[in-house]
Amino acid sequence: MKRKNLLFFSLFNTLLLCQFSLAQLGFEYDNSIPVFKSGVQLKYPWAGGLNYAQISDFDFDFDGDLDLLLFDRSHNNIRVLTQENDGQPYYQFYYNAEDKFPADIRYRATLVDYDNDGRKDLWTYGIGGLKVYRNVGDAVNGLQWELKSDLLYSEYVNGTSQLYVSSSDIPAIVDVDGDGDIDVLTFNQGGETVEYHQNQSMELYGVPDSLIYELKNECWGLFKEDFNTNFISLNDQSSPCVGGGIPNPLKTEAGKSAKHSGSTLLALDIDNSGVLDLILGDVSYPTMTLLKNGGSAPNTNSAMVTQDNFFPSNTTAIDIQLFPAAFFVDVDFDGVKDLVVCPNARNIPENETSVRFYKNNGTNILPNFVYASPNYFQKEMIEHGTGTIPVLFDVNEDGLKDLIIANTYRYIPTIDKESTIAYYRNTGTASAPVYTYVDYNYLDLDQQNYGLRSIPAFGDIDNDGDEDLFMGIENGTIVFYENTSTGSGAIFNTAQSNYPDNNGNPITTEGFSHPQLFDLDQDGLLDLILGSKSGKVHYYRNIGTSSSPSFQLENTQLGNVSVVGLNPNALAAPHFFRDDNTTYLFVGSVDGKLFFYDSIENNIGSGNSFNLVSPEFLGLNVEAYSSFCVEDIDGDGNLNMFVGQDLGGIFHFEVDPNSSASLNEVAQEQIALYPNPGTNEIVLSSSLEIETIRIVSIQGKEVLKQESHSSIETIDVTSLNSGTYLVFVEFSNGNRGLKKWIKL
């Protein structure tokens, strides 16, 4: 089944005309290319991967079925799997779901219905605590969010203070006392005891519609976790545990105890005793601990009486590299909630095996978790560690381009991390590609000691009919492999390190060379393009012959390209391509955006500049390690684009010839819109005179229109709901422009 979720600019079809008449390149997300692994077709291969998932269920599309939010801590990525049904239920990846969520989600995202209206609300990080967005969406308007609290507070004897939750922690957001409103269990600042913050909504108003908290117990469960280890002391009688439940305890002053490294909490009644038990994860340990509650309802004075330090002990125990977090959610459509365990760290994920699935063979009130999979969800995706780089190359020389996927790194238990190259053979046809997984370590790259982010580039530089290999490596140099194929598949046996330029000096960049072989000056010889750690692009022109290349350094900042952002190690990932005899340039970066340049042909000389059309073309931002490969892979005349990214997977796009979105969208710098995100008022300015401003919801509904005859205009947006909008601008000279804007 083929499904395409349009990028936001598909609305151009009716609302925006291009100001230029070049080739139409309206890319759309496309999941139609089949991918197979071990003889099984992957369900959502082009979903982009997962590293550090936090999993919640909710009705994303208001169709009555529970969908899944997969929030990834690595760079606050959002993945949504919608539940579909063609006789049997299944999940389908929903591209660009982040546009339907607030822009400021960080560190954690949990969906819990605090106001009992049947719509799960969003709990995320507020500075030192919890921020809550109320779900105000419906089937007509789609998902909408209203900021309910920028930071939750709790009442102590000595006054009110923020309800502290470390940015590294996952608290238990659950009805502890069974009165219908949502309470919070969280480790204190020292990380030794669990605080119970009771929601006073039912006590004060008799309805669960408020977020008013009071600290009821500084040592809920009567246990302490050792400050330096994950050792747990039960029935602790030292302060603040002495005496059990403490109504209105003394306020814990900020800074009195050191802030702990990190803990995760899952609270559920695992033995149907009527009180909540706890499953604990600790930042420095691979296992999780189950604490059984021997107290009684309503949980205010609970006491943990037993511990299982290798939970679940009836099956394969949880073993996550660092900092495991557990989630209780039904992921296999049987109506029974399962246990899913993922790492909660933000560095060095366990590649394609970081989502552990424990199937619940019991019931929701008396679960029986049995280990079933090390890579649930991930096994249905292309997934290869962190920071993927897609490259197309005909490995077996059958005339079909195979998919090669390098990465920035993947986790190896004994050596921490390494760079590898995965190989997916094209087992389809020239018009209908099919990719079949062959190897995660093509060319045995892990044995070469090249460091991280080793990137291949292929091209026939000696005119012998096969494509040779240039490998960019971490130290900035190039390793050359000649292809000695005899016609039945590529053979790369001998590596030449420190590949030289025309003067005999090693070709190099500032680090992390990202090569491409491309005839930039159109003289019939492949030139060498190198992205670099600095965010610049180096240009080595081939001044040799078709059979004997010689590369001369022409420019260390080709086109004045720079993709330096928040991270000074920008990791420029350039990819030149041609469409309709016009050269274009995409550049990825460590910040995850898609920089798009044109005006290439006459500006490759030193000091000349390419035209930056957009620093975030297609609104595409994969949060980190963006990398691109563009080619017509199926021979239909429409370009395909493969996008590598932080989470270890690949997105695939294809040009839709029916889209009026063009590579020549109005340059973003023509329009300034601020603040973005904003609340009640925004200002839009341009060097051109503005005639009309129209604000359109992400669903395509016009929600505001304002006339203008000025180059700057203030717009009252108080009446708009929180969410993502498109701001269309018509100028007095007939040109048009577009900005994406987020209402908080």
Instruction: Give the pLDDT confidence score for residue 279 in this predicted structure.
Output: 97
Identify whether 298 is preceded by a cis peptide bond (ω within 30 of 0). Answer: yes
* pLDDT reading at 16 higher than 60: no
Residues 79, 98: Cα–Cα separation, whole Å: 7
Instruction: Give the pLDDT confidence score for residue 156 in this predicted structure.
Output: 79
| DSSP code for 560 | G
What's the per-residue H, E or C state across 111-139? EECCCCCCCCEEEEEECCEEEEEEECCEC
More confident residue, 14 or 523: 523
Task: State the pLDDT confidence band at 250, using cuts at 50, 70 and 90.
Answer: very low
Q: How far is CA 147 from CA 72, 133, 336, 742, in A?
A: 21, 4, 32, 13
CB-based contact 665:619 (threshold 8 Å): no
Q: 607 — phi, psi (to 5°)?
A: 90, -15
What per-residue string of b and e applies to 57-86 under the rule 16 or more CB within 10 Å gives b? bbbbbeeeebbbbbbbbbbbbbbbbbbbee
Facing residues of 652 across strands? 642
* Encoded amino acid at 534, one letter: S
* pLDDT reading at 246 higher than 80: no
Q: How far is CA 504 from CA 474, 529, 553, in A?
A: 21, 18, 12
CB-based contact 318:326 (threshold 8 Å): yes
Placement of tokens 């670099």 in the chain: 532
What per-residue string of b and e applies to 559-595 under the rule 16 or more CB within 10 Å gives b? bbbbbeeeeeebbbbbbbbebeeebbbbbbbbbbbbb
What per-residue string of b and e applies to 262-299 under the rule 16 or more CB within 10 Å gives b? bbbbbbbbbeeeebbbbbbbbbebbbbbbbbbbbeeeb
CB-based contact 698:663 (threshold 8 Å): no
CB-based contact 539:604 (threshold 8 Å): yes
Please state the rounded mean pLDDT for residues 419-435: 97
Task: State the pLDDT confidence band at 670, using cuts at 50, 70 and 90.
Answer: low
DSSP code string of 580-624 = TTEEEEEEE-TT-B-EEEE--TT--STT---EEEETTGGG-B-SS
* pLDDT reading at 638 higher than 50: yes
Residues 441, 75: Cα–Cα separation, whole Å: 26
* pLDDT reading at 43 higher than 90: yes
Residues 430, 452: Cα–Cα separation, whole Å: 34
* pLDDT reading at 24 higher than 50: no
Instruction: Give the pLDDT confidence score for residue 673 in this predicted structure.
Output: 84
* Encoded amino acid at 701, one letter: K
Please state the rounded mean pLDDT for residues 35-44: 97
More confident residue, 107 or 673: 107
Residues 651, 634: Cα–Cα separation, whole Å: 16
Task: State the pLDDT confidence band at 691, using cuts at 50, 70 and 90.
Answer: confident
* pLDDT reading at 46 higher than 70: yes
Please state the rounded mean pLDDT for residues 643-651: 95
Q: Please tell me whether residue 206 adopts helix, strand or coil conformation.
A: coil
DSSP code string of 390-434 = EEEE-SS-SSS-EEEEEEEEEEETTTEEE--EEEEEE-S-SSS--
Q: How far is CA 62 from CA 56, 101, 140, in A?
A: 15, 15, 9
CB atoms within 10 A of CB 431: 9
Residues 36, 424: Cα–Cα separation, whole Å: 9
* Encoded amino acid at 92, one letter: Q
- The DSSP bridge pattern shows strands 386-393 and 369-373 to be unpaired
Tokens of 620: 């595409």
* pLDDT reading at 258 higher than 50: no
Instruction: Give the pLDDT confidence score for residue 565 in this predicted structure.
Output: 81
| DSSP code for 39 | T
- The predicted-structure confidence for 709-742, as pLDDT tens digits, reads as follows 888 888 999 988 887 787 878 887 766 677 778 8
CB atoms within 10 A of CB 493: 8
Task: State the pLDDT confidence band at 26, using cuts at 50, 70 and 90.
Answer: confident
Q: 204 — phi, psi (to 5°)?
A: -90, -40
CB-based contact 713:706 (threshold 8 Å): yes
* Encoded amino acid at 365, one letter: I
Q: Please tell me whether residue 97 adopts helix, strand or coil conformation.
A: helix
Q: pTM here? A: 0.84
Least confident of 171-175, 294-298, 467-471, 629-633: 294-298
- The predicted-structure confidence for 196-219, as pLDDT tens digits, reads as follows 999 999 999 999 999 999 999 989
Residues 234, 289: Cα–Cα separation, whole Å: 13
* pLDDT reading at 441 higher than 50: yes
Instruction: Give the pLDDT confidence score for residue 252 in this predicted structure.
Output: 40
* pLDDT reading at 147 higher than 60: yes
Task: State the pLDDT confidence band at 327, using cuts at 50, 70 and 90.
Answer: very high
Instruction: Give the pLDDT confidence score for residue 700 in this predicted structure.
Output: 52
Contacts of 581 by beta carbon, 8 Å cutoff, 6+ apart: none
Contacts of 315 by beta carbon, 8 Å cutoff, 6+ apart: 358, 369, 370, 371
Residues 139, 146: Cα–Cα separation, whole Å: 16
Least confident of 20-34, 100-114, 175-189: 20-34
Q: Which of 550, 535, 557 is nearest to 605 (CA)?
A: 557
CB-based contact 166:265 (threshold 8 Å): no
Work out the mean pLDDT of the chain and round it to a whole number.
88
Instruction: Give the pLDDT confidence score for residue 659 in this predicted structure.
Output: 56
Identify whether 349 is preceded by a cis peptide bond (ω within 30 of 0). Answer: no
Please state the rounded mean pLDDT for residues 327-332: 98
Instruction: Give the pLDDT confidence score for residue 728 in this predicted structure.
Output: 79
* pLDDT reading at 133 higher than 80: yes
Contacts of 335 by beta carbon, 8 Å cutoff, 6+ apart: none
- The predicted-structure confidence for 356-387, as pLDDT tens digits, reads as follows 999 999 999 999 999 999 999 999 999 999 99
Please state the rounded mean pLDDT for residues 450-456: 95
Q: Which of 592, 670, 595, 738 is nearest to 8 (CA)?
A: 738
* pLDDT reading at 663 higher than 60: no
Radius of gyration of the chain (CA): 28
- The predicted-structure confidence for 219-233, as pLDDT tens digits, reads as follows 999 999 876 677 899
Question: Which burial class, exposed, middle or buried, applies to 415 when counting CB atoms under 10 A from its CB (0-12, 13-18, 19+)?
Answer: exposed
CB atoms within 10 A of CB 359: 21
Instruction: Give the pLDDT confidence score for residue 5 in this predicted structure.
Output: 41
Q: Which of 249, 237, 301, 253 is nearest to 275 (CA)?
A: 301
Q: How far is CA 577 from CA 584, 600, 684, in A?
A: 6, 11, 34
Instruction: Give the pLDDT confidence score for residue 694 in this predicted structure.
Output: 84
Tokens of 306: 């037993």
Q: Please tell me whether residue 16 adopts helix, strand or coil conformation.
A: coil
Task: State the pLDDT confidence band at 251, using cuts at 50, 70 and 90.
Answer: very low
- The predicted-structure confidence for 594-619, as pLDDT tens digits, reads as follows 999 999 999 999 999 999 888 888 77
Under the phi-then-psi rule, with left for phi > 0, alpha for psi from -120 to 50, and beta for the rest, what region is 340?
beta
CB-based contact 469:481 (threshold 8 Å): yes
- The predicted-structure confidence for 262-305, as pLDDT tens digits, reads as follows 899 999 999 999 999 999 999 888 999 999 999 887 877 789 99
Q: Please tell me whether residue 347 adopts helix, strand or coil conformation.
A: coil
Residues 24, 387: Cα–Cα separation, whole Å: 29
- The predicted-structure confidence for 546-583, as pLDDT tens digits, reads as follows 999 999 999 999 999 999 887 889 999 999 999 888 99
Taking the chain, what is the end-to-end CA distance rounded to the nearest angstrom? 36
Q: 147 — phi, psi (to 5°)?
A: -65, 115
Placement of tokens 């969800």 in the chain: 377
Instruction: Give the pLDDT confidence score for residue 568 in this predicted structure.
Output: 85
Q: Which of 606, 510, 670, 477 is nearest to 19 (CA)?
A: 670
CB-based contact 234:218 (threshold 8 Å): no
Facing residues of 234 across strands? 223
